[in-house]
Structure 1
Amino acid sequence: MHDHRKLGRELDLFDTDPLMGAGLPYWLPDGAIVRHTLEEYVREAERAAGYRHVYSPVLGKRDLYEISGHWDHYREDMFPPMDLGGAEQVVLRPSLCPHHALIYRSRSHSYRELPLRIAELGGMYRAELSGVLGGLTRVRAIHLNDAHIFCTLEQAVEEARAALALIARAYADLGIRASRYRLSLPGEGGKYVADPQLWRRATALLREVLDGSGIDYEAAEGEAAFYGPKIDVQITDPAGREATLSTVQIDFHQPERFDLHYIGPDGAKHRPVMVHRSVIGSVERAVAHLLEEHGGAFPTWLAPVQLAVLPIAEAQEERAHAVVRRAVALGLRAEVSGPGDGTLGARVRAARLVPYQAVIGDREADAGLAAVRLRDGRRPGAVPVAELLERIAARAGDRGAELWPAA
């Protein structure tokens, strides 16, 4: 069974330091590559789906979260306010949606602009207790792949359905399997907004989304957000522990609280619906799950090093560096592991999680070849360097899982 905490340290992906604090991991260079590649994948997918990206600050005035309802319903999970003098207090944000509501409100909007899809991969902070923190799955600084779609009531179901389809495509590319879909509803207790009509409308629309998508789901009480129900896409780790990775929500509460509107075809003001969605959830939890799912053997396009070039002797080192330069020029991540790093056998073992290894001896160097070893143990033999690099670039470009076609 793979534990992402152990793998993350063995592979030099991330770590923590008591002086930084519990639940505040830092990313080492190889981990930063995985994170950056994952973030760029999501941004690219969102751009193709019509999202526009924004940046917003990680701080907000306490008044902002009083309006959104976070202060009344979510305060125990927020860090204490910071006094700036006088009556002004700011808070580390627990969520991005209030900021996006303000971004929407900052300009007037016509019905012709809707749906307006705003996305951000931004930081938010939760005051988690020390006893529940662990690795990347429970942290205090979260980097969330978040988005909010401002649309008409008639557009809400289709937008939520499209968000579920975007999640499914991302899971296919990443090799993530959804264990189940959950319709998260309110439970007993006072943490929820008291508006029965809001809950009925939003729940009915989410059921329409799930039923229209042909998705089997289970309803679960007590799992809703404080302002409305949500669709949670659940994943299960190798130890059998279940967690939420992705979500889709239909929200009538915050558009009301922030007095959002658009100008309809009749020239009058109308209230938009706010669809919240996260494709991969937090980057931290997504990387933790990918580490455990793949045992550190990331798909080629996500691997920190995609090609390890292994010269047999010092005489081939210059040729090895030339291969790496050609690989880098093609946008690949390649490194030389030379004789100074140990015997050839030791270097092959050290690069066991790298998708491709290119061994270069005298014969290969003279002929412009590389003896290829694959992570899965296959040895396709000596291949022209140009062909090898083209194959790797193709696999990285199409996010294919197959390293080499079967003979």
Structure 2
Amino acid sequence: MVTRLQFQEETMHDHRKLGRELGLFDTDPLIGAGLPYWLPDGAIVRHALEEYIRDAERRAGYRHVYSPVLGKRALYEMSGHWQHYSDDMYPPMAVGGEQLVLRPSLCPHHALIYRSRSHSYRELPLRIAELGGMYRSEMSGALGGLTRVCAIQLNDAHIFCTLEQVAEEAVGALELIGSAYRALGISAARYRLSLPGPEGKYVAGQDMWEQASKLLVAALDGAGLEYEAVAGEAAFYGPKIDVQVCDSAGRESTLSTVQVDFYQPQQFDLHYVGADGAKHRPVMVHRSIIGSVERAVAHVIEQHGGAFPAWLAPVQVAVLPVSESESSAAAQFLDRCTAAGLRAQVLDSGSLGARVRAGRLVPYQVIIGPIEAANGEVAMRLRDGRRLAAQPADVVVSHVGALVNDHSADLWAA
């Protein structure tokens, strides 16, 4: 039985409540259930997260693409989604005598992008990434906040590689996931090896499933991760590694995934030219580092109670002039922060104590009194309660900027 205190603790960090109170997102019945919109501060968080993941992927050798959110029904028949996943898809739209469908996944489009050009074994592994929209028809009773939505912005990628490269590419994806979680200040509850179950919702090919599963086990072992094998949780086309996280109420969900797919390369007749001059079939490794942007932000809200890591915070620096006499110095410091790429805001309405409380979730509070203004310095109050002696304004901006650019979990480091 859940006690009243436990219920209060759970709801205090429930992203549905906190996200609205902090002005991050909201919903409207005229838009529809499962279709939240992002408010300005929420859009800042989302943009910062998207910038981080794009840069991390670029550094890891991924190339980014854009693809349409619509496709012909025939595309999803070829990929297998229509036969195995249509219950979760929106119905086709009749357009000019053809049936168009809102995509439930990005992988068919990426298979076509790969197929549009010839490839040599020298190009592999070819890593194609996209932060793209996809749509899933969910029952209204299952929708809620940002964790269960109909319009999804997915951090997706597909690696086309040789059989010998699969395990190493999967390990690389797991390492990217670990780095992202450290930057976000979150952790995995467990790693799950999701295997097919006895139901008939999976594509045929026992050898294909066994080989793909062995490759994922090799990746988990290579990354030194403990895991639990669970039947019935695989994708319809192949097994996967699911990185599980827990919300404020202890409910578990999947945030990140790594999947091995032999099926879609076969369906789309993908190939590359090997060293022997013959055509060979690539393997398709699906992976998502932070999963959907919506679910990732929901989890970060709950994990931190709105006190985001500095690089992700909507306002990174709150500038508090002690009195109106320091307004000019506060404006100059604000300009320095803006020029350095920091998100800063002057809080000058109300008593100093009230402003300190209003900015309690801001990572850095900069106090400027008459002495600091005269000396070109600022005093620092960190979100964790630490107070730092006055320092030159340029030194503070440089130090905070370096910590933010490094996506550091430390608010201040010597």
2:3 alignment partner in structure 1: none
| Structure 2 equivalent of residue 79 of structure 1 | 90
User: Is 364-373 or 352-361 further displaced after alignment?
Assistant: 364-373
Residue of structure 2 in register with 1:255 after alignment:
265
1:271 aligned onto 2:268: no
Partner of 1:399: 407
CA deviation string 1:118-139 (max 9, x = no partner): 0000000000111011110000
Write out per-residue CA displacement over residues 133-184 of structure 1, whole angstroms, 9 at most, x where no aligned residue.
1110000011110000001111111111111111111111211111111000
Structure 1 segment 44-63 matched on structure 2, within 5 A: 44-63=55-74
Cα distance in 1 for partners of 2:114, 2:41 equals 37
Aligned counterpart in structure 2 of residue 359 of structure 1, from 354, 357, 367: 367
Amino acid aligned to 2:383: R
Deviations 1:261-292 (A, max 9, x none): 11111111111000000000000111111111
Measured in 1, the distance between the counterparts of 2:354 and 2:389 equals: 20
Give, as a single letter, the amino acid of the residue that structure 1 aligns with 2:17.
Answer: K
Amino acid at match of 1:173: A
Q: Which residue of 1 aligns with 2:79?
A: 68
**Structure 1: 4+ residue segments shifted above 4 A:** none
Offset of 1:372 from its aligned partner?
Answer: 1.6
Q: Secondary structure at the match of 1:219?
A: strand
Q: Which amino acid aligns with 1:15?
A: D
Query: Structure 2 regions of 5+ residues with no counterpart?
Result: 1-8
Return the offset for 1:220.
Answer: 0.4
Give 1:7 deviation, angstroms: 1.2
What residue identity is the alignment partner of 2:408? G
Q: What is the root-mean-square deviation in Å for CA atoms of aligned residues?
A: 1.1
Report Cα offsets for 1:80-134 as digits up to 9, x if no partner. 1000032x01000000000000000000111111110000000000001110111
Give the letter aligned to residue 271 of structure 2.
H
Structure 1 equivalent of residue 253 of structure 2: 243
Match of 1:24 among 35, 38, 56: 35
For the residues of structure 2 that align with 1:372 and 1:270, how far apart are their CA atoms? 61
SS in 2 for 1:74: helix
Distance 2:413 2:95 in 1: 62
Question: TM-score, with normalisation over the residues of structure 2?
Answer: 0.95
**Distance in 2 separating the partners of 1:287 and 1:187:** 31
Letter of the aligned partner of 2:152 in structure 1?
I
The alignment partner of 1:371 has SS state of strand
Show the counterpart of 1:383: 391
Aligned equivalent of 1:168: 178
- In structure 2, distance between residues paired with 1:179 and 1:94: 27
Match of 2:332 in 1: 322
User: Which residue identity does 1:296 align to in structure 2?
Assistant: G
In 2, the alpha carbon distance for the partners of 1:212 and 1:358 equals 46
97, 117, 124: which is aligned to 2:107?
A: 97
Kindly state the Cα deviation for residue 405 of structure 1 after the two structures are TM-superposed: 4.4
Match of 2:196 among 183, 186, 208: 186
Does the 8 A contact of 2:182 with 2:409 survive in 1?
no
2-side partners of 1:264 and 1:400: how far apart? 43
**AA matched with 2:38:** W
The residue identity in structure 2 corresponding to 1:60 is G
Structure-to-structure mapping, 1:116-155, within 5 angstroms = 116-155=126-165
Report the equivalent of 2:354: 346
How far does the alpha carbon of each residue in 1:281-324 deviate from its partner, in whole angstroms, 9 at most, with x for none? 00011111111111111111111111000112222212211110
SS at match of 1:380: strand
Identity of aligned residues (%): 71
C-alpha displacement of 1:237:
1.7
Q: CA separation in 1, counterparts of 2:217 and 2:408?
A: 34
1:14 aligns with 2:25: yes
Residues of 2 paired with 1:231 and 1:255: CA distance? 19
Residue ranges of structure 1 left out of the alignment (5+ in a row): none
SS in structure 2 opposite 1:95? coil
Alpha-carbon shift at residue 211 of structure 1 (Å): 2.0
Structure 1 position 361, deviation (Å) = 2.2
Contact 2:154 / 2:293 at 8 angstroms: preserved in 1? yes
| TM-score, L = length of structure 1 | 0.97
